[in-house]
Structure 1
Amino acid sequence: MSLLSSNVVNYLVWRYLQEAGFGNAALQLSRCWLRDPETLPFAPNVEPHTLIRILQDGMCFDQLQAEATTTDPRYRFGPNHGQPYSARNGALLTLDKGIPAHELAAEANGAVQEPPPKKTLKRKKAKQPNGVEPRPEPPETNGDAMDVEQNGLAHAANSVRAESDAAGSDAESPTVAEIPLSTLSIGQDAEIQTEVTADLARETIFVPRSKELGSVVQHTSWGPAGTPVLLAAGKSVLQIHFVDKDAPSEHTPPVRTGDIFLPVENFAITALCWQSSAEITVSAREECSNEIGERMMINKLIKLIDGGSNSHVISSTAGLVNTLRWNADKEFLLSISTDGEKGSIKVWKNDSDSIPAWTEFTDTAIFDALWISDTAFVVCGIELFKIYEIGDTLTTQRTLDTQVTWESVKFDPSSGIIAALGVEGQASYLGLLHPNDSINLQTHDYPDQYPTDLDFRLRTATNTLTNGSSMPSVLLATCSMSGAVRIWDANEPFKAIKRLPTTDDTQALKIAFSPDGSLLAAAGPDALTVWDVEKREVPLACWRAKDWTSDKWDAGVDGEFSLGWDSDSSRLSIALGNQVCILPC
């Protein structure tokens, strides 16, 4: 599907103005935009009356869509369009043969006057990515109101004409032939895109790398609301990064980094979670040697308090923890660990206790877990999809029958829908568990190769959409290594709403909606892409690793890739290996 850029939209309007007889308006547009629009590379491919045909196609499609869905058309202008103006074919200002408007103005012997200069601040000219110089600020005009009659005749209401383009009677003026409607071949309407995609490269802030030998960042996590810091953890690294939103001075670095002390040595952080703005729980795996030189691995669950200045060990028997989840309402800490081929579930009611309040084991490994209520949580893994309930004891609320290995799971609290990504053999699946059918895990063959991540959009008062019925849409985003992002309505399994290509079709390993639900980001080692999924399919912004030398960002480094939004949806972080960078949005 070909989307419209601002150059294409401007060119179509420029051509329409000439074809409809408004040469002076076309000339004004070319002065404010591009002196010779016919030099644009796509110009030879544009047929006469293209803009009219696009608009008529849109009107016809809107009518067909309304009939198919038994709803009212979105675009209704009523039967009375005002007094029509005949399209003039003046020799001076109207283009018939593709002659640029500024050349016609020269032939008009000064009939068209230059607009008065507008007082603006002088700015250094900069080349746009497409090589076209940016257009200056347009002069203030009345703005011709353009209309298209139902019979295809173009006219303008209350238009301001050039002095040389005197109004004539309808009998004197030749009319434009009726324009036939072109055949609709599109499956859905695409929003016209006139904005450019912002490049975030200039705003990149690179976090200083840890100086510890062999350090590797494996987890990043922004602090909760009111705590604008980024926590980076992994092998031999546990750091807090404070990034100043204001422009730093010459003497103030953009990033201030502090190491968090742990009562262990030669460690690797395997999981972490925020409990509050000043409390963090981490699982640390310490490598040490006994008295005869044998290497040993000791796993400890550690709570950091007072902003990381103090700590205490919760447990030394939690095992190799791969997931930590905090339940703020009940102040429960959920840990998931592996014990050989089996999974281990432990829930701490009081972090001062060394023994968990509830413990359960599964026959297969657990890969992910989430709280879905004050007292219930879901776990998924190898042929495993279970929901547990905490009461006097830890009980199994539901066991979903499945042969799929579910690798990641997400929950939408507003709808109660659970979504998961999994594999079985060479096939990949998207799974949905809807509260209206809570005993059946619905699965769908994933349409792209190697899906990697998923995320629900947080529903707010400003982004609650309906899906054509009384049910609100529940937006679920998924990404894959094939370079495609898909948006689904989880309330209508498995209704795909959009397919969004990533920047340069690069692989996307992580995806995340901003906390306010307004933006969607997908990223991999090579590029990051940001969309406003409600307003446009073309990205709002992008970032490319190739814009930087390898000492700044090396996309070929091995390691876990991570992506995250800060709590106020204004910044993104990405990390790979020992590299962390922050991108203001």
Structure 2
Amino acid sequence: MTVEALSSNVVNYLVWRYLQEAGYGNAALQLSRCWVRDPESLPFAKNVGPHTLINLLQDGLWFDKLQAEAANGEQRYRFGRDHGRPYSSRNGDTLTLDQGVPAHQLAEEANGAVQEPVPRKGPGKRKRGRTNGIEPRMDPQVNGDAMDIDQNGHTHVTNSVRAESEAVASETESPTVAEIPISTLSIGQSTEIQTEKIADMFEGTTYVSIKEPGKTVTHTLWGTPEAPLLLAAGRSLLRLHHIPKGSGANSVQGPQSMDLKLLADEYTVTALCWNSHEEATVSVREESVNEGGEVMRNDKLLKVSGEEVVTISSTAGMISTMRWNGLTQTLLTISTTDISGFIRIWKGEEDLPVWTANTEKAILDAAWMNDTTFVVCGERLFQIYEITDSLKVQQTFETQATWESVKYEPSSGIIASLAMEEMTSFLGIVHPNDPTSLKTHEYPDAYFSDFAFQPRPISTSDSQSSTVVLAAASTSGVIRVWDANQPFKCLKRLITEDEGQVNKVAFSPDGSLLAAAGPYTITVWELEKRDVPIAVWNPNGRTNEWDPSVDGYFSLRWDPDGSRLSIALGNQIAIINVPR
């Protein structure tokens, strides 16, 4: 296996593609004028997928981090978290080459005539961030070919080996604006000037720190409206938090907590769910050391109510997924290994499951569809089960992908799922109009991370024709809003305010607000009213009570009435007030 060779043609093409995809059409026009007339005609262009430059940079930063960790050294590339104010209007109007209208006229009508570049004075340090929404002028850098800059600002390539197809730009060869193909260019025009106010949710944030060594949060779960308590669980941790509204940094009344005592001191909570406002079911793996120094592990399924802890089973294995069906008071648990999965259905006070089933492939997630039907997914596995007098497979979908999570929308009967196959992500839909088909769509953004249905009343009329909103996110900072009723019709493409990573998305309980969150920021939209966010939470450089660089599981939750958000990472929790 050989390393791909870079030339200035390849680098220029990647930059040109990025400028188009990011909405900086004028900059792309300028680059193609000074470089090559039609970049898409380059022989390698057909092999370059969307967002390749961003993917290369992200992969490079990850490699730099791993290399630094392996060598116990420092990372070479550090840009910090403050990249300046983001450009608020992302993509301008897309131009199509109308027959009979000169290309230069279309460009002038869209964003004015393309001007000659201002001569540069000399080399300088390249800046990554943007300032006040204006892209800074970049000075030439040595990147592949060796470049010299004369006093008139012209760039000459010296002592370099060029690709056979590589063009050499000169004044006589520079194409006119009318010659530049712009059928796919998106002109970076500020057509939607952002005038709506974006609320700052930082003030009034309540922080909860887990101070005991060795305790970390891996799960958070809000209780019912009758008892809006936040249950935090994880490594040697099972703790209830009562967080009064308005209990921020300047509040007299702060959060109160109560530990739910288990029999073992060392344990890990692997799954949990609320059964009612006063009872939860918890799966734990207890750890102890015998006299010979050997670590002993014991998996238990527990029912917790106040200070009372009752063991349901010690033979259920390590449970990774737990789903409660409130209508039938039935518990679905999934235990899995690398090569097989175990499905168990529990009911009432029974210490043995009522129904069981095994699979020959690992199960990664499950979701109830109704009182007697549920869907499971996993490694090359996608099945629907039905409970009758026994537990039977109702439908098996042939697939080679690893389906990591699955969700069900009850008013429409649509199933959605997220999959990985090698380095490619997929969004999957099973529609009731075609219940035997698992439709898949290659996800357009890198690193598909999470998705959520917008809550709708189950009695929604004409659900077969109405829009079923599905929001999906990627760690690249892009959120796409799909209509799951018309599989894979994208309704909106949203960008987080700081263009930072998004690990989780969640709709408020009433469905009116959408939150997208990562360790560094939370962005909230009211989709029915506007595409500009209504509120942003960004604590970077403003507090020492939240450290986004901590390693651990990241979680995002709405409280029962949709007035607050909670996020958790490592040994810290933040509760954020959301403006209504």
- Shorter-normalised TM-score: what interval? 0.5 to 0.7
Match of 2:533 among 504, 529, 539: 539
| Superposed CA offset, 1:342-401 (max 9, x none) | 111111122x22211111111111111010100111100001110111111000011011
For 1:562-577, what aligned pairs fall within 5 Å after superposition?
Answer: 562-577=555-570
Paired AA for residue 311 in structure 2: V
Give 1:249 deviation, angstroms.
Answer: 11
8 Å Cα contact 2:222/2:230 also seen in 1:
yes
With over 3 angstroms needed to count, the CA separation of the structure-2 counterparts of 1:251 and 1:355, relative to structure 1, is same
For 1:203-352, what aligned pairs fall within 5 Å after superposition?
Answer: 203-207=204-208, 209-246=209-246, 252-305=252-305, 308-350=306-348, 352=349
Paired AA for residue 213 in structure 2: L
RMSD: 2.9
Aligned with 1:493: secondary structure? coil
8 Å Cα contact 1:344/1:359 also seen in 2:
yes
Give 1:461 deviation, angstroms.
Answer: 9.9
| Superposed CA offset, 1:31-87 (max 9, x none) | xxxxxxxxxxxxxxxxxxxxxxx9xx9xxxxxxxxxxxxxxxxxxxxxxxxxxxxxx
With over 3 angstroms needed to count, the CA separation of the structure-2 counterparts of 1:461 and 1:263, relative to structure 1, is closer
**CA–CA distance in structure 2, aligned partners of residues 465 and 361 of structure 1:** 38
For 1:105-504, what aligned pairs fall within 5 Å after superposition?
Answer: 194-207=195-208, 209-246=209-246, 252-305=252-305, 308-350=306-348, 352-460=349-457, 471-504=465-498
8 Å Cα contact 1:212/1:237 also seen in 2:
no
Aligned with 1:435: secondary structure? coil
Aligned with 1:533: secondary structure? coil
**CA–CA distance in structure 2, aligned partners of residues 425 and 398 of structure 1:** 25
Aligned with 1:286: secondary structure? strand
Does 1:513 find its partner at 2:523? no
Does 1:579 find its partner at 2:572? yes
8 Å Cα contact 1:319/1:339 also seen in 2:
no
With over 3 angstroms needed to count, the CA separation of the structure-2 counterparts of 1:247 and 1:259, relative to structure 1, is closer
8 Å Cα contact 1:465/1:473 also seen in 2:
no
Match of 1:526 among 498, 517, 520: 520
| Superposed CA offset, 1:208-234 (max 9, x none) | x22332111001111122221111110
Paired AA for residue 349 in structure 1: K
With over 3 angstroms needed to count, the CA separation of the structure-2 counterparts of 1:314 and 1:396, relative to structure 1, is same
8 Å Cα contact 2:410/2:458 also seen in 1:
no
With over 3 angstroms needed to count, the CA separation of the structure-2 counterparts of 1:248 and 1:422, relative to structure 1, is closer
| Superposed CA offset, 1:176-225 (max 9, x none) | xxxxxxxxx99xx9987532111111121101x22332111001111122
**CA–CA distance in structure 2, aligned partners of residues 341 and 291 of structure 1:** 33
Aligned with 1:201: secondary structure? coil
**CA–CA distance in structure 1, aligned partners of residues 454 and 257 of structure 2:** 31
Give 1:465 deviation, angstroms.
Answer: 10
With over 3 angstroms needed to count, the CA separation of the structure-2 counterparts of 1:466 and 1:500, relative to structure 1, is farther
Give 1:555 deviation, angstroms.
Answer: 1.2
Aligned with 1:503: secondary structure? coil
**CA–CA distance in structure 2, aligned partners of residues 273 and 528 of structure 1:** 25
Give 1:466 deviation, angstroms.
Answer: 9.0
8 Å Cα contact 1:379/1:385 also seen in 2:
yes
**CA–CA distance in structure 2, aligned partners of residues 369 and 527 of structure 1:** 29
With over 3 angstroms needed to count, the CA separation of the structure-2 counterparts of 1:251 and 1:479, relative to structure 1, is closer
**CA–CA distance in structure 2, aligned partners of residues 399 and 293 of structure 1:** 46
Deviates more, 1:308-317 or 1:559-568: 308-317
Paired AA for residue 576 in structure 2: L
With over 3 angstroms needed to count, the CA separation of the structure-2 counterparts of 1:196 and 1:545, relative to structure 1, is same
**CA–CA distance in structure 2, aligned partners of residues 405 and 371 of structure 1:** 20
**CA–CA distance in structure 2, aligned partners of residues 190 and 434 of structure 1:** 37
**CA–CA distance in structure 2, aligned partners of residues 414 and 466 of structure 1:** 10
8 Å Cα contact 1:512/1:521 also seen in 2:
yes
| Superposed CA offset, 1:92-132 (max 9, x none) | xxxxxxxxxxxxxxxxxxxxxxxxxxxxxxxxxxxxx98xx
**CA–CA distance in structure 2, aligned partners of residues 327 and 406 of structure 1:** 22
8 Å Cα contact 1:405/1:422 also seen in 2:
yes
Paired AA for residue 430 in structure 2: L
**CA–CA distance in structure 2, aligned partners of residues 568 and 465 of structure 1:** 25
Greater radius of gyration (CA): 1
- The TM-score, its normalising length taken from structure 1, stands at 0.65
With over 3 angstroms needed to count, the CA separation of the structure-2 counterparts of 1:225 and 1:285, relative to structure 1, is same
**CA–CA distance in structure 2, aligned partners of residues 257 and 325 of structure 1:** 25
With over 3 angstroms needed to count, the CA separation of the structure-2 counterparts of 1:432 and 1:482, relative to structure 1, is same
With over 3 angstroms needed to count, the CA separation of the structure-2 counterparts of 1:510 and 1:249, relative to structure 1, is closer
Paired AA for residue 572 in structure 1: L
**CA–CA distance in structure 2, aligned partners of residues 250 and 522 of structure 1:** 26
8 Å Cα contact 1:284/1:299 also seen in 2:
yes
8 Å Cα contact 1:367/1:408 also seen in 2:
yes
8 Å Cα contact 2:204/2:246 also seen in 1:
no
**CA–CA distance in structure 1, aligned partners of residues 352 and 191 of structure 2:** 57
**CA–CA distance in structure 2, aligned partners of residues 537 and 347 of structure 1:** 43
Paired AA for residue 229 in structure 1: L
Paired AA for residue 410 in structure 1: K
**CA–CA distance in structure 2, aligned partners of residues 365 and 547 of structure 1:** 43
Number of equivalenced pairs: 401
| Superposed CA offset, 1:153-190 (max 9, x none) | xxxxxxxxxxxxxxxxxxxxxxxxxxxxxxxx99xx99
**CA–CA distance in structure 1, aligned partners of residues 323 and 462 of structure 2:** 32
With over 3 angstroms needed to count, the CA separation of the structure-2 counterparts of 1:258 and 1:310, relative to structure 1, is same
Paired AA for residue 254 in structure 1: G
**CA–CA distance in structure 2, aligned partners of residues 340 and 289 of structure 1:** 26
With over 3 angstroms needed to count, the CA separation of the structure-2 counterparts of 1:466 and 1:483, relative to structure 1, is farther
Match of 2:545 among 543, 546, 552: 552
**CA–CA distance in structure 2, aligned partners of residues 567 and 473 of structure 1:** 25
Give 1:290 deviation, angstroms.
Answer: 2.7
Aligned with 1:526: secondary structure? coil
8 Å Cα contact 1:466/1:473 also seen in 2:
no
8 Å Cα contact 1:216/1:237 also seen in 2:
yes
User: Between the two proteins, what is the percent identity of the paired residues?
Assistant: 51
Match of 1:109 in 2: none
Aligned with 1:547: secondary structure? coil
**CA–CA distance in structure 1, aligned partners of residues 248 and 497 of structure 2:** 30
**CA–CA distance in structure 1, aligned partners of residues 269 and 565 of structure 2:** 22
8 Å Cα contact 2:204/2:250 also seen in 1:
no
8 Å Cα contact 2:204/2:249 also seen in 1:
no
| Superposed CA offset, 1:464-517 (max 9, x none) | 7999xx811000000001110000000001100000001211110100000000
8 Å Cα contact 1:212/1:236 also seen in 2:
no
8 Å Cα contact 1:381/1:406 also seen in 2:
yes
Task: Specify every segment of 5 or more residues in structure 1 that has no aligned partner in the other structure, as ranges.
Answer: 3-53, 58-128, 131-184
8 Å Cα contact 1:389/1:397 also seen in 2:
yes
